[in-house]
A and B are shown apart, each in its own frame.
Chain A
Amino acid sequence: MKFKTYLAKTSVAFATMALSANIAYAACATDNLPSAQPKPDGFPARALTMIVPYGPAGGSGQVASGMAKAVSELTGISINRSHKPGGSGTVGMIAFMAMPADGYTVLEHIDDASSAHALDSSKPNPASDLIPLVTSQITFSQIYMRVGDTRFNDWDSFVKWIKAQNGRATIANVSKEGSMERVTMKFITDATGMKIQQISFDKGAPRYGALVGGQVDALFEQPGDVRTFLDAGIFKPILTILKTRPSAFADVPSLTDAGLDFDPLYRFRGFYVHKDAPADRVKWLQWAFQKGFCQPSYQKFNDSKYMNLIESYRDTAGTRELITTTIDQYREVYKTMGLKVK
Chain B
Amino acid sequence: MDAFNNFLTGTVTLFSDPMGVLIFFSGVIGGMLFGAIPGVSMLTLAAILLPFTAHLSPEHGIMLFSVIYCTGVYGGAITAILFNIPGAPENAPTAFDGYPMTLKGQAGKAVGAAVMCSAIGGTVSCIIMMLATAPIANWAISAFGPPEIFALVFFGLAVASSVGARTFWKGWLSILAGLLIAVVGLDPVGGIERFDFEMPYLLAGIHFIPTILGFFAVSEIFAQAEKKARGSFIAPKMSVDFPSLAELLAHKWAVIRSIVIGFFCGILPGIGATLAAFMGYNEAVRWSKTPWEFGKGKLEGVISSETANNAATGAAMIPLLALGLPGGALTAMMVGVFQMHDMEPGPLVFINSADLVWVVFSAMFFANISILFIGYIETKTIINLLRIPFQYLAPMILLLATVGAYAVRGLTIDILVMFLAGVIGFFLRRSGYSVAGIVLGLILGKIGEQTFAQAMQMLHFEWSGFLDRPIALGLLIAGLVALLGSIYGAFFKKKRIQPPMA
Residues of A within 8 A of B (CB): 55-58, 61-62, 82-88, 90-91, 94-95, 167-168, 170, 175-177, 179, 197-206, 208-210, 212-216, 228, 232, 234
Residue on B nearest A175 in the bound complex, by CB? B189
Cβ of B190 and Cβ of A87 under 8 Å apart? Answer: no
Cβ of A212 and Cβ of B141 under 8 Å apart? Answer: yes
Residue on B nearest A212 in the bound complex, by CB? B141
20 A–B contacts, CB within 8 A, in A order: A55-B340, A56-B339, A56-B340, A57-B341, A83-B409, A85-B204, A86-B409, A87-B200, A87-B203, A91-B201, A167-B460, A175-B190, A198-B457, A201-B454, A205-B324, A206-B346, A209-B347, A213-B142, A215-B142, A216-B458
Most buried by B among A179, A197, A205, A234: A205
Set of chain A residues within 8 Å of B185, measured between Cβ atoms: 86-87
Most buried by B among A90, A167, A168: A90
Q: Provide the B409-431 mask, 1 if CB < 8 A to any CB of A, else 0.
A: 11100000000000000000000
B391 at the interface (CB under 8 A from A): no
A232–B343 Cα distance when bound, in Å, is 17
Cβ of A209 and Cβ of B346 under 8 Å apart? Answer: yes
Set of chain A residues within 8 Å of B347, measured between Cβ atoms: 209, 212-213
Contact of B344 among A90, A179, A203 (CB under 8 A): A203
Most buried by A among B186, B189, B193, B454: B454
Cβ of A200 and Cβ of B409 under 8 Å apart? Answer: no
Cβ of B204 and Cβ of A87 under 8 Å apart? Answer: yes
Count: A-B pairs, CB below 8 Å: 119
Set of chain A residues within 8 Å of B409, measured between Cβ atoms: 83-86
For the complex with contacts A56-B339, A84-B410, A94-B200, 4 further pairs of A-B residues with Cβ separation under 8 Å are A83-B409, A87-B193, A176-B189, A197-B460
Number of interface residues of B (CB under 8 A): 41
Set of chain B residues within 8 Å of A215, measured between Cβ atoms: 142, 145-146, 458
Given A84-B410, A85-B204, the answer on whether A204 and B344 have CB atoms closer than 8 Å is yes
Set of chain A residues within 8 Å of B200, measured between Cβ atoms: 87, 90-91, 94
A204–B188 Cα distance when bound, in Å, is 14
Question: B156: shortest Cβ distance to chain A, in Å?
Answer: 18
A82–B411 Cα distance when bound, in Å, is 10
Contact of B458 among A57, A197, A204 (CB under 8 A): A197
Most buried by B among A61, A95, A170, A215: A215
Cβ of B453 and Cβ of A200 under 8 Å apart? Answer: yes
A205–B323 Cα distance when bound, in Å, is 11
B134-152 interface (Cβ within 8 A of A): 141-142, 144-146
Question: B414: shortest Cβ distance to chain A, in Å?
Answer: 11
Question: B56: shortest Cβ distance to chain A, in Å?
Answer: 13
Residues of B within 8 A of A (CB): 54, 141-142, 144-146, 185-186, 188-191, 193, 200-201, 203-205, 324, 338-348, 351-352, 409-411, 450, 453-454, 457-458, 460
Cβ of A197 and Cβ of B204 under 8 Å apart? Answer: no
Cβ of A209 and Cβ of B204 under 8 Å apart? Answer: no
A86–B413 Cα distance when bound, in Å, is 13
Given A87-B203, A200-B453, the answer on whether A205 and B191 have CB atoms closer than 8 Å is no
Most buried by B among A176, A206, A212: A206
Given A55-B339, A200-B457, A202-B188, the answer on whether A86 and B203 have CB atoms closer than 8 Å is yes
Contact of A209 among B203, B348, B457 (CB under 8 A): B348
Question: B202: shortest Cβ distance to chain A, in Å?
Answer: 9
Q: Which 7 A-B pairs have the closest CB atoms?
A: A86-B204, A205-B344, A87-B203, A176-B191, A215-B145, A213-B141, A57-B342
A315–B340 Cα distance when bound, in Å, is 30
Question: A243: shortest Cβ distance to chain B, in Å?
Answer: 29
Question: A68: shortest Cβ distance to chain B, in Å?
Answer: 13
Residue on B nearest A198 in the bound complex, by CB? B457
A204–B344 Cα distance when bound, in Å, is 8
Question: B417: shortest Cβ distance to chain A, in Å?
Answer: 13
A94–B203 Cα distance when bound, in Å, is 11
Set of chain B residues within 8 Å of A212, measured between Cβ atoms: 141, 347-348, 351
A294–B65 Cα distance when bound, in Å, is 39
Question: A115: shortest Cβ distance to chain B, in Å?
Answer: 11
A201–B345 Cα distance when bound, in Å, is 15
Question: A56: shortest Cβ distance to chain B, in Å?
Answer: 6
Cβ of B348 and Cβ of A177 under 8 Å apart? Answer: no
Set of chain A residues within 8 Å of B453, measured between Cβ atoms: 200
A215–B146 Cα distance when bound, in Å, is 8
A213–B141 Cα distance when bound, in Å, is 5
Contact of B454 among A56, A58, A199, A228 (CB under 8 A): A199
Set of chain B residues within 8 Å of A199, measured between Cβ atoms: 146, 454, 457-458
Set of chain A residues within 8 Å of B460, measured between Cβ atoms: 167-168, 197
A95–B340 Cα distance when bound, in Å, is 21
Residue on A nearest B142 in the bound complex, by CB? A213
A231–B453 Cα distance when bound, in Å, is 32
Cβ of A200 and Cβ of B410 under 8 Å apart? Answer: no
Set of chain B residues within 8 Å of A198, measured between Cβ atoms: 457
Set of chain A residues within 8 Å of B351, measured between Cβ atoms: 212, 232, 234
A215–B147 Cα distance when bound, in Å, is 10
A95–B200 Cα distance when bound, in Å, is 10
Given A91-B411, A94-B200, the answer on whether A177 and B454 have CB atoms closer than 8 Å is no
Set of chain B residues within 8 Å of A62, measured between Cβ atoms: 342
